[in-house]
Amino acid sequence: MLLHAPFRTLLGFIGVLFCGVATSSAQRGEIRDNGAFFSDTAKAEAGRQMAEIGARFKREVVVETFKSVPDDLKQGVNLQDRAAQNRLFEQWALRQARDLKVNGVYILISKEPSHLQVLVGNETQRTLFQPRDRDALVSAMLAKLRDRKNDAALLEGIGLIATTMKSHVSTRSRAVAQNRPTESTDAETSSPWNWVIAAVLGMAVVWIVIGIFRAISNRGRSPDLAGGAGSSGGGFLTSLIGGMFGAAAGMWLYDQFSGNHSQDRGNDNFDDNESRRRDSDYSSSGDSFSDDSSSGDSGGGDSGGGDF
């Protein structure tokens, strides 16, 4: 049993490493250009931005394009009916996002009928990409798609997602930073013994360090030299080093007792907490831009997509 323990540990480590690599791969996102909308150059640049989104925000962007609607989905659906068409694409995109377990933003584009659908996960839209951001993404991409600027639609869309998420995180970080002075003052006021404890512990560290340096410096000396001028000659350097070490230790101890160390990691804690919450449902947004409809009449609600 004991002989196999190292092997079990090694296998467990490999399993954790494999899961970490798989998660990182999923967080980079993906472009499945089955509809042949984009150039290789645009897909490469978009993939780079999507990898940055995954690394920084622990969210993925998945883009899928299709030449047409699958036969099993459009069977019995009147695609000339705009409301029925919007429901079809919303259900189709929702099915795709759930099958792929998208943890972030999912974008579906169809060539025939020409249609754009954007879904955002419920946890993602809570803090990183809100409903109004989703609507702005749909409008921006539709404008480019209507002009047949497919590469621009892709790059502008991914760029908008990245800058929007960054903006939301920065806003949250500034709010946390503004609360820090008050929290620090409250901690110091409510714990007046922090300085006393830190000072006592710092002095103890200094005393121990000085003792160690004296023991090292006296090693190998004769009793006369150890008690004479040679001993006192190294005392200043020993005391200086010990004092510097003790001051640093005292400041660290005070930081630990006062709780400031946890406040300085506010941004990291926010990112870590948010990344643990995976999307379990999705909302959809868009607008219709076909020739036989009035533009902007849907208001970018939570149903339907948009024609270009």
- pLDDT at position 223 is 54
- Helix pair angle (266-276, 40-57), 10° resolution: 110
Write down the domain spans for the chain: 23-174+273-285, 186-265
Rg (CA), the chain: 31
Q: Looking at residue 188, what is its pLDDT? A: 47
Task: Please give the biggest Cα pair distance in the chain.
Answer: 106
Distance of CA 111 to the CA centre of its chain: 33
Please report the pLDDT score of residue 246 as a whole number: 62
Query: Looking at residue 49, what DSSP letter applies?
Result: H
What percent of the chain is predicted at pLDDT more than 90? 41
pLDDT at 247: 61
pLDDT for 204-261, tens place per residue? 777 787 777 777 766 655 555 444 444 444 555 556 566 666 666 666 655 555 555 4
What is the pLDDT confidence band of residue 80, given thresholds at 50, 70 and 90?
A: confident
Q: What is the pLDDT of residue 153?
A: 97
Q: What is the mean pLDDT of the chain?
A: 75
pLDDT at 118: 98
The sign one gets for the Cα dihedral 71, 72, 73, 79 is positive
Find the mean pLDDT for residues 8-28: 45
Q: Tell me if the pTM is above 0.85.
A: no
170-200 pLDDT tens trace: 887 666 555 655 544 454 445 556 666 767 7
Confidence of residue 124 (pLDDT cuts 50, 70, 90): very high
The answer to whether residue 27 scores a pLDDT higher than 60 is no
Q: Which tokens belong to 194?
A: 């922090």
**Chain centroid to CA 133:** 17
Higher pLDDT, 176 or 122: 122
Dist CA 26 CA 62 (whole Å): 9
**In contact, 78 and 101? CB cutoff 8 Å:** no
Q: For the domain made up of 23-174+273-285, give the CATH fold.
A: Diaminopimelate Epimerase; Chain A, domain 1 (3.10.310)
